[in-house]
Structure 1
Amino acid sequence: METTATSALPVPLHPGLPMLGNTLAFLRNPLGTLHTLQRQHDRLVHLRIGGRHQYLVLRPEDVKYVIQENHRNYGRSPAFEILKIFLGNGLLTSDGDFWRRQRRLAQPAFHRQRLAALTMTMIAETASWIDELEQHRNKQSINMSQAFMDVTMRIVCKTLFSSDTTGKLDGLSNALDTLNYLANKKMLNPLRFPYSWPTPDNIRSKRARAQVDSFIYGVIDQRRHHQEDKDDLLGMLLSAEDEDTGEKMSDQQLRDECVTLFSAGHETTAVSMAWTIYLLSQHPDVLVRLQTESREVLCNEPMPSPDKFRSLTYTLQVVQESLRLYPPAWIMSRRAHNPDHIGPYTIPAGDTALISPYLLHRDPTNWPDPDRFDPDRFVAGGLKDQLHSYAYLPFGGGPRLCIGNQFALMEMQILLGMLARSFDFKSVANQRIIPKPLITLRPSQAIYINLL
């Protein structure tokens, strides 16, 4: 990609309010504002949000330049300092040499052959969950948003800790939800009090964090003192050694990575699955094809083998199309360490590049009729394979591609395949669901479905 120019031009500025710039527009309607920017601008647009200069990158080839080709010039933005308060210094929030070391240490835990050992755990937990859902068949509607939160919590506990955390799931889930809610609130509020101040929100946050820490440090301590050797993600992280120094992760580092994995493996997957079920309830033709595949491939086996799920090609297409329409990470930000050029335009040092997978995924230039739910976009050799590789970024890209992307895709295939094999889904009448862009792209309200 051409990134140098004979003359450096400022990025076109989008009109805003005096002093406030574009802040109110983003606070009131972030997704609508993004669509407006996409219609009115071609390559980059200069925004003023929260007193900061930010540059929305609109073309896939320019996105690739920022997060892959010149990624060393773009670090974590100030927004991640807020997330650090809640998540710690894990792979999501860390930067520079520390991040590179942590990524090297954690990467082996997510190799394909390692994940294969965890797939049976996913299948077993999903089978148990499907049995529990039977009590709701042909009865009143069920809150599927909460149902997916419950099962993904069970799966992440088993795959991360080899534990069902009996009696602790509700408290742990509530504490994580509290941290997520307060992080969202703090990021959206331009008036941010220091974390050390005893405000009501800071007190709630510290209590929730203490509850999460008590559980996770307890598990780490038990493993270290009893020298338990378990084939789960924590076991792999405990045994990981730096290839240069031979060092292993400290308890603090293990805690931060575990909290990050908890958040990604629990909330993000649950939200994505809720959107998927909602879309299927609105598109009975897609649901019929999905059910036909799952019943032919999985048959009536209580515990299908992992290979069976890998054969669910249409199921994967449904998941991919759902992630296109409602990517959990709907926007990302990177701060420029040094001045840079994208085409003829200058990105000043210290300013932020904004990248929106939500916007890329709904760009009519690449995705015809972009708001339509059509899993056939992802058929092998179809539209997706003909597009620029950065036109579709449900898990990010470049060196910071989500480390658990294959884990998440397999989990969603298993959940969706076994659910479609067992039930029909019918949407509740007059249920108006719109996206709510918080840290993740959540539904505006709980999604209720009738299971038939």
Structure 2
Amino acid sequence: MVTDEKPPKPIPKLKGIPFVGSTFDFARDPLGFLTGLQRQYDRLVQFKAVGRLITLTLTPEDAKHILQENNRNYVKSAAYDVLKMFLGNGLLNSEGDFWRRQRRLAQPAFHKQRLALLVDGMNRETTGLISQWKNRDLTGPTLVSEEMMHLALAVVTRSLFSSDVKNHLENVSESITIIIQTAYKELFNFFPFTRNWPTPRTVRYRRAVRKTEAIIYEIIESRRRQPAEIRHDDLLGMLMETRDEETGEQMTNQQLRDEVTTIFMAGHETTANALSWTFHLLATHPDITEKLREEINRVLGPDNLPTVETLRELTYTTQVIQETMRLYPPAWIFGRQPLHSDQFGDYRVEVPGADGMLICPYLLHRDPRYWENPETFDPEHFLPEQVKLRPTYAYLPFGGGPRLCIGNNFAMMEMQIVLTLLIRDFDFQPVDQKIVEPEPGITLRPKGGLRLRVQARPNTGLPVS
């Protein structure tokens, strides 16, 4: 039988080194390797890494196809096994019907009306840092990236547990740091069978997991023993209250543990890095900082704290945060595993054969096809008239489709509060002229940490305690 159907075009494929493909090039300089591919190819390109055939997508249309239009054909890639070591079967890692049920259960806790209850806690933690800085000798450089890590952990801890965990905060902070460091190392461990070997790092990691789990389970059990009329306006309380609309069931202790640890990691590491990059960019763009400060002073005045209502008026502040996450998206890359073959225009990704699909927001966010002056820090990229000109999936700081990050509103609210209060009260300046390089791992960190000169502004902001 004669058919007019065209055969699919072959997807461009890198040759690489026999047996290992492009493994070493990708591991040595992930951003440089992927950026080089973006310059050479328009839509799709394949390469071998760790014995797997990876397909890199380079357009918003294909990202939308994977994440939204045909999302049920894709599951999380094998790289998420590293996160599953600690996070368990929370929203970030779970799949299928179980994920859909967990999403239904967790969603009410992240509605904007419920999140409004957390604003006071975010203000308290941020003003606490302001008081510390105003009582500290800030003559030398401040390791802002570390300060943001501590602040983001304090915010997410208070948001999750109110004051229940206050006595454990130091232990939690130390344990979470060990867990994150281990996950970073394991991300580029090309011999996953070694993860269970009793190395010193593995022993420290397991001890940190046990310590964190013990604290979380202790808080959950303590809450369950309390009378029903006692309510907690925190995320754990909201998660414990919610019931499945179809079955009436609530989350088990194990499910609560997995969701809490996922929020811990996602709400701590990513937000801290986004804030660090924001202060770095503002320190090197004083004109944008002044425009930002003008809006903050106009909306909040010299000493008012942000509220849900005033946050909506901080439009330029929001644009600054959006632009930071364009240049330095904390979730800079994510992978999907195709379950069946799929069509991308004239190309066809074959299963079996293709082992994984990569979507890289870092590349999409800097693609000159969708962004004017893509390497320039310019919050006006997010003026409404500019946003309308771009494909929606050209900007993916929180992913997209049904698996859009459930905590995106929480993260934006926290970043707005921290940014407005610190910029109102402090000046940030570079320590030197060295270029701050991004370090790609699970998230996109400033390599070696971010140090800035921080100086209190005269006669502004909250009083020194």
Q: Provide the TM-score with structure 1 as the length reference.
A: 0.96
In terms of mean alpha carbon deviation, does 388-397 or 173-182 score higher? 173-182
Deviations 1:115-163 (A, max 9, x none): 1111222122212222222124752221111111111111111111112
The separation in 1 between residues aligned to 2:279 and 2:170, in whole angstroms, is 23
Instruction: Indicate whether 1:281 and 2:283 are aligned.
Output: yes
**1:233 aligned partner:** 235
User: Given the alignment, which residue of 376, 381, 402 partners 1:377?
Assistant: 381
Report the residue type matching 2:287 in the other structure.
D
Aligned 8 A contact 2:164 2:219 in 1: no
For 2:26, the equivalent position in structure 1 comes to 26
Aligned-pair CA distance for 1:283: 0.7
> CA deviation digits over 1:245-297, x for unaligned, max 9?
11111111100000000111111101110010011111111111111111121
Give the structure 2 partner of residue 216 of structure 1: 216
Q: Which residue of 1 aligns with 2:458?
A: none
Counterpart residue identity of residue 33, structure 2? T
Three-state SS of the structure 2 residue aligned to 1:436 is strand
List gaps (5 residues or longer) in structure 1: none
Aligned to 1:445: 448
Q: How far is the alpha carbon of 1:301 from its aligned partner?
A: 2.8
Asked whether the 8 Å contact 1:154–1:164 carries over to 2, the reply is no
Please tell me whether the aligned partners of residues 309 and 417 of structure 1 are also in contact (alpha carbons under 8 angstroms).
Answer: no
Amino acid at match of 2:226: H
Distance, in Å, in 1 between the alignment partners of 2:48 and 2:288 is 42
- Which range is displaced more, 276-285 or 343-352? 343-352
- Give the 3-state SS of the residue equivalent to 2:362 in structure 1: helix
The CA distance in 1 between the partners of 2:18 and 2:197, in whole Å, is 31
1:326 alignment counterpart: 328
Structure 1 residues 164-175: aligned runs within 5 Å? 165-175=165-175
Match of residue 343 from structure 1: 345
Find out whether 1:303 has 2:305 as its counterpart.
yes
Shift of 1:339: 1.1
Match of 1:407 in 2: 410
What residue is the counterpart of 2:422 in the other structure? 419
Q: Which moved more, 1:349-358 or 1:267-276?
A: 349-358
Q: What letter is aligned with 1:39?
A: R
- 1:191: Cα distance to partner? 1.5
Partners of 1:159 and 1:233 within 8 A in 2: yes
SS state at 2:148 partner:
helix
Match runs of 1:193-204 below 5 Å: 193=193, 195-204=195-204
Whole-Å separation in 2 of the counterparts to 1:283 and 1:135: 27
Q: Which amino acid aligns with 2:337?
A: R
Q: Which amino acid aligns with 1:314?
A: Y
Provide the residue aligned with 1:141 in structure 2. Answer: 141
Secondary structure, aligned partner of 1:290: helix
Cα drift, residue 233 of structure 1: 0.6
Kept in 2, the 8 Å contact 1:86–1:209? The answer is yes
Instruction: Quote the offset at 1:300 in angstroms.
Output: 2.2
| Deviation per residue, 1:164-202 (Å, 9 max, x gap) | 733422221121121111112112011223544323332
Q: Which moved more, 1:413-422 or 1:239-248?
A: 239-248
**Counterpart residue identity of residue 152, structure 1:** A
CA contact (8 A) 2:319 2:382 kept: yes
Q: Name 1:129's counterpart in structure 2.
A: 129
Residue 389 of structure 2 aligns with an amino acid whose one-letter code is Q
- What corresponds to 2:438 in structure 1? 435
Report SS of the residue matched to 1:425: strand
Give the 3-state SS of the residue equivalent to 1:229 in structure 2: coil
User: How has the CA–CA distance of structure 1 residues 64 and 304 changed in structure 2, closer, same or farther, with 3 Å as cutoff?
Assistant: closer
Instruction: Give the counterpart letter for 2:364 in structure 1.
Output: L
Q: Which deviations, in whole Å up to 9, do the C-alpha atoms of 1:88-127 show, x marking residues without a partner?
A: 1100011111111100110111111111111222122212
- Could you tell me whether the CA contact under 8 Å between 1:127 and 1:303 is conserved in 2? no
**Aligned CA-pair RMSD:** 1.5
Aligned twin of 2:155: 155
Q: Distance in 1 between matches of 2:200 and 2:289?
A: 46
**Residue identity in the other structure for 1:315:** T
Which amino acid in the other structure matches residue 387 of structure 2?
Answer: K
2:389 matched residue in structure 1: 386
Report the 3-state secondary structure (helix = DSSP H, G, I; strand = E; otherwise coil) of the residue aligned with 1:193: helix
Match of 1:356 in 2: 360
Q: Distance in 2 between matches of 1:433 and 1:174?
A: 26
For 1:168, what is the secondary structure of its paired residue? Answer: helix
Q: Distance in 2 between the 1:197 and 1:429 partners? A: 43
Distance in 2 between the 1:192 and 1:49 partners?
14
The letter for the 1-side match of 2:316 is Y
In the comparison of the two structures, how many residue pairs are matched? 447
Q: Give aligned-pair identity as a percent.
A: 47
C-alpha change, 1:137 and 1:195, in structure 2 (3 Å) is closer
d(CA) in 1 for partners of 2:139, 2:165: 30
